[in-house]
Amino acid sequence: MNTDVTLALAVGALVVLVSAVALRVADRIGLPSLLLYLALGVALGEAGAGVQFEDVGLTQTLGVAALVVILAEGGLTTRWTDVRRAIGPGIALATIGVVVSVAVVAAVSVWLLHTTWLFGLLLGAVVTSTDAAAVFATLRRLPLPRRMAAALEMESGLNDAPVILLVVALSEQLTGRDGEPWYLVLATILGELAGGSLIGVALGYGGAWLLHRTALPLAGFYPLATVALCVLAFSSASLLHTSGFVAVYLCGLVLGNSALPHRAGTIGFAEGLASLAQIGLFVLLGLLVSPSRLVGALPSALLIGGALLLLARPLSVLASLAWFRVPLSQQVFISWAGLRGAVPIVLATFPIAAAVPDALRVFDTVFVLVVVFTVIQGWSLPAVARWLGIATPVTPRDVNVESAPLDELGAELMQLRVPENSRLHGVYLPELRLPEDAAVVLVVRDGKPFVPDENTRLMRGDQALLVSSRASRAEAERRLRAVSRAGRLATWRGETGRASEVD
């Protein structure tokens, strides 16, 4: 066997294992894990273990591939009940917010760093995009209002597309190529966003229909097929000259909110794959950087980062959310929570690949900016949420019902676990009042399975298997949610079992 391949596999395995331990350390100290992954890449690079890596083109290609997986996981794990009330704010932040932020950063760059307007706009475009990996990983650990958190997640999932187009257009201008007029660039961006949205939603619904009606030979094929559909959405949209990033996120969003077979396994697979993509991406970016140049980039990084955090971001949030009823405290938090991560660093490789003059200055500035301000913002977010009074109590009463198809019988097999604070505790099975063609067929309590009867009561920590006809699955799930929230008298209390819509 080739020794180089064996060594590469060994190093890759060690990197993943060390990164998994680093993630645990990061959670304990409240530090965003991406910084530890970047540090690992730097330690392996020219200033540490001596690995020489300068392939910008490969980094850009692998970076885009990793972002596709990360956005797919973000869409799959985002609840539609949260997103549908955050569509307006999320889109506004990803469009109006981008324009305002790029303009402000460019003005600061021209005024204080004495750059040209084109170079300032390029720098603003590179740093303005919030990072999906950083936002998803950090915000989902905090008890925040769902609409606000969903708006931030949607912004990070959608703002990559217009920014990438803007970076490419500005790079062409700075290298002396004939670029399109600004109004054609704007029309192109809007057209690509619209086209990518249509393709992503269409493939999402089509894929959900297909997976729900196809009995695959192995349960493990369902997660693979789901992620493959998301990647197909990106590829199809890109080949049709529309936004692949918008398509993959929306495809994942539609699939993640459909009645997917083996949903728990699919989500777990997507989360693991996204974590692997994050590790590989950040380690690769750490390898690419030259630490000897970073000290010289520190002043400009602090200047641009400070202007972005304290001026450009607040103004962009104000301009974006002025049209919506978003409390001032939440607007302040959204301003502070515009986390940067891998996306700006990947975008900084585009000018290098295009041979833009002084492109290394952009890359080094962005790298230092991401590291410094991720530490400042990531560590302070819990305290800022408490100071603003927007942290919400965690009250998980909903049951999580997973389903798998029984195609030949036209039925669904569902699994649930009774949460600790659920009002399902103590409820007799007949009191669930499930549809006539649905029944609890097995209960596992303290690791011991038994077949229940009409005298069986559900208890905290129980796991139960239910079988229902395909037509009654949704009604059975709503009834279980209703009883979990309001108890056996859920109907009398007006509880319908709809998915939670708490702000």
**Minimum mean pLDDT range among 20-29, 65-74, 75-84, 485-494:** 20-29
Q: Is the pLDDT confidence value at 493 over 70? A: no
* SS3 at position 92: helix
Q: Is the pLDDT confidence value at 480 over 60? A: yes
Q: Is the pLDDT confidence value at 394 over 70? A: no
CA–CA distance, 374 with 288 (Å, rounded to integer)? 19
Above pLDDT 70, what percent of the chain? 88
What DSSP character marks residue 309? I
Tens digits of per-residue pLDDT, 463-477?
A: 898 888 888 888 888
Identify the band that residue 1 occupies on the pLDDT scale cut at 50, 70 and 90.
low
400 Cα distance to chain centroid: 21
- With contact defined as beta carbons under 8 Å apart, do 59 and 288 qualify? yes
pTM of the model: 0.74
The residues facing 47 across adjacent strands are none
Tens digits of per-residue pLDDT, 310-352?
A: 999 999 999 999 888 888 999 999 999 888 877 888 888 889 8
Encoded tokens for 168: 């490419």
Number of neighbouring beta carbons within 10 Å of residue 112: 12
Tens digits of per-residue pLDDT, 67-92?
A: 899 889 888 888 777 777 788 898 89
pLDDT of residue 227: 92
Average pLDDT of 283-305?
A: 87
Number of neighbouring beta carbons within 10 Å of residue 299: 12
CA–CA distance, 62 with 55 (Å, rounded to integer)? 11
Cβ partners under 8 Å of residue 61, min gap 6: none
Set out the domains of the chain in order of their start, with CATH numbers. Answer: 53-388 (1.20.1530.20), 402-486 (3.30.70.1450)
**What are the φ and ψ backbone dihedral angles of 408, each rounded to 5 degrees?**
-65, -25
